[in-house]
Amino acid sequence: MKKTFQSIGYKLLSTLVIATTFPMLVYCFFFSYDMRKSAENSYIEQTQHTWQIVSSNIEHSLSTSIDVANKGIYLNGTLQDLLFSRDGNAFSYAESANSSLLFSYMTNIYSMTPEATQIQFSTYKAGKSFLLTTKNLQKYLRNNSLEKNSPSPVPAFQAYIMPPHRQTSYGHQLNHISLSQEEEYADTPGTGELVFTVCLPIYHLPSPMTPIGQLRIDISMEFFQKVCNFLYDQSEQFFIVDSDYHVIFASDPSAIGTMTSEPWIQSLIGQAADDDDLFVSKTSGDALRICQKLPGDSYHWYMLKSIPKHTIYQSSNNQLATLLLTFSICLLITILINGYSILHYTNPLKKATTFLNHINTHTQNLNSRLSEYVTYKSEDEIGILFRSLEEMMDTINNFVIRQYELEIINRTTELKMLEAQINPHFIYNTLQCLATKSLEHHDQEQYDYISSFGQLMQYSMDTKHTLVTINEELSHIDRYIKLQKMRFTNHLSVFFEVEETVRKIIVPKMILQPLIENSFKHGNLFKREKGTILVQAHLKEDRLLHVYIVDNGCTPSPEKLAKINKLLIKLKQEYTHKLLTPNRLSSIDGSREKPACQDADLSIKNAAENLYATNNIGLTNVLLRLLLNFGQECSMELYANELGGTTVHLIISHKTLWNQKPTDT
């Protein structure tokens, strides 16, 4: 059953609409989820990266202060001996040398902790308390009978941090506090600004059993505000909470220093503590909760944040709306442009299909040209296809012409040979009798000459085979040279340099013997004392067969060589022009007038007659038969060689198959 014809343009348009609309619908379905998930992951990754930097800054700042405090004590033997001394008079007043040494140590700590509001140092052995206020670098010294020597919660070289609290004066009478308020200020909770305190117990090494003193550094909450201010905005909740759920810092100032009871905070801290995860994220309801453990030996803090999802998805939702609108507009434009392009490209294909169908049903119109029926000027695959189709049609036309002319020439040759033919059987029988007589008289040399002559005539008079192998051509010229040697006594050397694979290539018959005959006739080889003929044949990288006939005979003058080569080129050009003439096929089937072809034939005839006039009939004969079989893909050239003779160079297109026997024409 014959299928219904469907235009390729309709198929392409249908496929385009389906292939763009269906993915768009699927894309719209998954895009929203993917964009939200991507925005959430991107936010988490960005937060994790930022928090790692902030946590590193916090850990570096606090550890630096603690390291400076440790080194200032444990690397200063004089200061450590003073602290271990029980002599209370060692620190008699604030400006004494020993007190100045300790205050200098405290000032050095302040230089490394610019956010510190005051630094207090207690010596349990001497019963003294030192206080340095950083606002105006005021120094205070008092007896410290209230503070007892007690075990420390951390070993030597380590510190612990007290949660945020109101700053106190540690029992010291400050300049802005009256004497009547000193004891009350020392015993009541702090009324100063909100601070957190770094406590560093001091031991007398190498026996770190019981502290001999303690250093306290009160740090303002501005420390966290500077570091964490860019980590949250107004719509987000941000906390730094310790393992006991004390709020160290929060985006809501009122929550700082309190105990948090938020379930999500306790849940995330518990998860991070149980799994030893440094970073935990969890989606709950309409909010995304993130928790990260801060690294540090002196504290166990966690940074937490609660972000409303609409804040995270706001940017992705805007992108989604813009992208969908843009995609819809682009889809419409794409369909219009592609629809126009499809019609632009398929219409010429449709015309070309109609043209080829017409050619297929009307074979007498093979000379019609596709470019006259379809106009396509773009340099693309379709343009190459149309040019290739037109070149293929020209090749078919040329092939038809060549086959037709070959048939005419072969038939003409057969008729002429029949007209002048002597019965070949009579010739062969006569030669056989002569050969037998030679054997009867034991004249082997004469027998060889007669056999060679018989084989030479048989090869020349065989009109059924017009294509032979290179090896058969070489055997023929070998017999021809052998008979030529019989006529002359001069020494003649013949060399063959032919590759084994080249010997199997198929070429037109009788293309080498006329060139060898030219060497004898025009080169006067037998007039030389030592004549030489060299036959070379090989394939080069260009996949063309190159044949050289080299002799050391007489060389024509440069002017004559130039004239012969010019006539050979002109003969090839005229013959090629004749094959490519659009009216050539019409001149054969008689469907058109023939002036153009007659002019081409006349030009070829004139070129050939010019070559005949130069007494080079053999060259003309060989070139015409090469042109007839290979068209413009062959050439012939003559030039003088280093032996003092002439070289004939043939170039033939290698189109035949290896190991294939010659076909009959």
Instruction: Give the 3-state secondary structure of 534-593.
Output: EEEEEECCCCEEEEEEEECCCCCCHHHHHHHHHHHHHHHHHHHHHHHCCCHHHHHHCCCC
Is 537 in the same domain as 407?
Answer: no
Instruction: Check whether 554 has a pLDDT greater than 80.
Output: yes
Report how far apart the first and last C-alpha atoms of the chain are (Å, whole number): 42
Instruction: Check whether 148 has a pLDDT greater than 50.
Output: yes
Among residues of the chain, what percentage have pLDDT more than 70?
81
Is 195 in the same domain as 310?
Answer: yes
pLDDT at 587: 42
Nearest to 334 by CA among 33, 7, 8, 23: 23
Instruction: Check whether 659 has a pLDDT greater than 50.
Output: no
Q: Which of 420, 453, 485 is the last residue of a domain?
A: 420
Among residues of the chain, what percentage have pLDDT more than 90?
16
**Considering the domain boundaries, does residue 179 fall inside one?**
no
Instruction: Say which range, 33-42, 172-181, 580-589, has the weakest mean pLDDT.
Output: 580-589
**Considering the domain boundaries, does residue 460 fall inside one?**
no
Is 223 in the same domain as 324?
Answer: yes
- Give the integer Cα–Cα distance in Å for 147 and 213: 10
**pLDDT confidence bin for 181, thresholds 50/70/90:** very low
Residue 408 domain boundaries:
363-420
Q: In terms of DSSP bridges, do strands 634-640 and 530-539 run parallel, antiparallel, or are they unpaired?
A: unpaired
| More confident position, 56 or 432 | 56
pLDDT at 480: 86
Q: What is the mean pLDDT of residues 375-394?
A: 79
Q: What is the pLDDT of residues 322-354, one digit of tens each?
A: 877 887 888 788 878 888 887 777 788 887 888
For tokens 């040399």, what's the residue? Answer: 445
Tell me which amino acid residue 622 is. Answer: V
Instruction: Check whether 548 has a pLDDT greater than 90.
Output: yes
306: three-class secondary structure by DSSP = strand
CA distances from 552 to 11, 616, 647 (A): 71, 18, 9
The answer to whether the CB of 281 falls within 8 A of the CB of 309 is no
**Considering the domain boundaries, does residue 482 fall inside one?**
yes
Instruction: Check whether 307 has a pLDDT greater than 80.
Output: yes
- Give the integer Cα–Cα distance in Å for 578 and 575: 5
pLDDT at 270: 86
Strand partners for 496: 535
The answer to whether the CB of 134 falls within 8 A of the CB of 118 is yes
Instruction: Check whether 633 has a pLDDT greater than 90.
Output: no
Q: What is the mean pLDDT of residues 357-374?
A: 69
CA distances from 6 to 35, 508, 541, 613, 630 (A): 42, 49, 48, 64, 43
Is 323 in the same domain as 369?
Answer: no
Nearest to 109 by CA among 216, 220, 214, 205: 216
Mean pLDDT of the chain: 78
Is 273 in the same domain as 378?
Answer: no
pLDDT at 417: 58
Q: Which of 26-40, 72-86, 585-599 has the highest mean pLDDT?
A: 26-40
Q: What is the mean pLDDT of residues 493-521?
A: 88
Is 201 in the same domain as 257?
Answer: yes
Instruction: Say which range, 136-140, 146-150, 650-654, has the weakest mean pLDDT.
Output: 146-150
Residues 6+ apart with CB under 8 A from 344: none
Instruction: Check whether 438 has a pLDDT greater than 50.
Output: yes
Instruction: Say which range, 16-20, 152-156, 292-296, 319-323, has the weakest mean pLDDT.
Output: 152-156
pLDDT at 380: 78
Is 542 in the same domain as 624?
Answer: yes
- Give the integer Cα–Cα distance in Å for 79 and 75: 9
- Give the integer Cα–Cα distance in Å for 67 and 70: 5
Nearest to 335 by CA among 16, 11, 7: 16
For tokens 């790692």, what's the residue? Answer: 52
Instruction: Say which range, 178-187, 545-554, 638-647, has the weakest mean pLDDT.
Output: 178-187
**Considering the domain boundaries, does residue 178 fall inside one?**
no
Nearest to 70 by CA among 202, 179, 193, 190: 202
CA distances from 161 to 70, 164, 202, 245 (A): 15, 9, 15, 14
Nearest to 117 by CA among 221, 244, 37, 245: 221
Q: Which strand (E) or helix (H) includes residue 163?
A: strand 160-166
Provide the sign of the torsion angle of the four alpha carbons 356, 357, 360, 365, taken in this order: negative
Q: Which of 283, 302, 328 is the last residue of a domain?
A: 328
Instruction: Check whether 660 has a pLDDT greater than 70.
Output: no
CATH number of the domain bearing residue 618: 3.30.565.10
Instruction: Say which range, 162-166, 464-468, 491-495, 565-569, has the weakest mean pLDDT.
Output: 464-468
Is 538 in the same domain as 615?
Answer: yes
**Count of domains forming the chain:** 3
Instruction: Check whether 589 has a pLDDT greater than 50.
Output: no
Q: Which of 50-64, 148-162, 611-625 has the highest mean pLDDT?
A: 50-64
Residue 532 main-chain phi, psi, to 5 deg: -140, 135
**Considering the domain boundaries, does residue 438 fall inside one?**
no
Is 552 in the same domain as 654?
Answer: yes
60 CA to centre of own chain = 46
- Give the integer Cα–Cα distance in Å for 632 and 641: 26
| More confident position, 584 or 2 | 2
**Considering the domain boundaries, does residue 598 fall inside one?**
no
**Considering the domain boundaries, does residue 443 fall inside one?**
no
CA distances from 52 to 58, 159, 270, 291, 350 (A): 10, 22, 20, 12, 66
Is 70 in the same domain as 135?
Answer: yes
Q: What is the pLDDT of residues 442-501, one digit of tens each?
A: 777 777 777 778 777 777 777 677 788 999 999 988 888 888 887 776 778 889 999 888
Instruction: Check whether 285 has a pLDDT greater than 90.
Output: no
- Token code pair at residue 566: 């010019």
Angle, to 10 degrees, between the axis of helix 8-74 and the axis of helix 309-361?
Answer: 150
pLDDT at 537: 92
Provide the sign of the torsion angle of the four alpha carbons 60, 65, 70, 71, taken in this order: positive
What global pTM score does this model have? 0.48
- 180 DSSP 8-state letter: G
Q: Which of 26-35, 403-412, 586-595 has the highest mean pLDDT?
A: 26-35
Angle, to 10 degrees, between the axis of helix 97-112 and the axis of helix 8-74?
Answer: 180
Is 267 in the same domain as 122?
Answer: yes
pLDDT at 637: 93
The answer to whether the CB of 585 falls within 8 A of the CB of 366 is yes
pLDDT at 125: 79
**pLDDT confidence bin for 425, thresholds 50/70/90:** low
**pLDDT confidence bin for 382, thresholds 50/70/90:** confident
CATH number of the domain bearing residue 233: 3.30.450.20
CA distances from 90 to 84, 212, 216, 425, 616 (A): 11, 15, 21, 150, 134
Q: Which of 282, 306, 328 is the last residue of a domain?
A: 328
pLDDT at 649: 94
Instruction: Say which range, 180-194, 297-311, 327-341, 483-497, has the weakest mean pLDDT.
Output: 180-194
Is 396 in the same domain as 259?
Answer: no
Nearest to 264 by CA among 313, 305, 310, 308: 305
**pLDDT confidence bin for 582, thresholds 50/70/90:** very low
**Considering the domain boundaries, does residue 218 fall inside one?**
yes
**pLDDT confidence bin for 8, thresholds 50/70/90:** confident
The answer to whether the CB of 578 falls within 8 A of the CB of 600 is yes
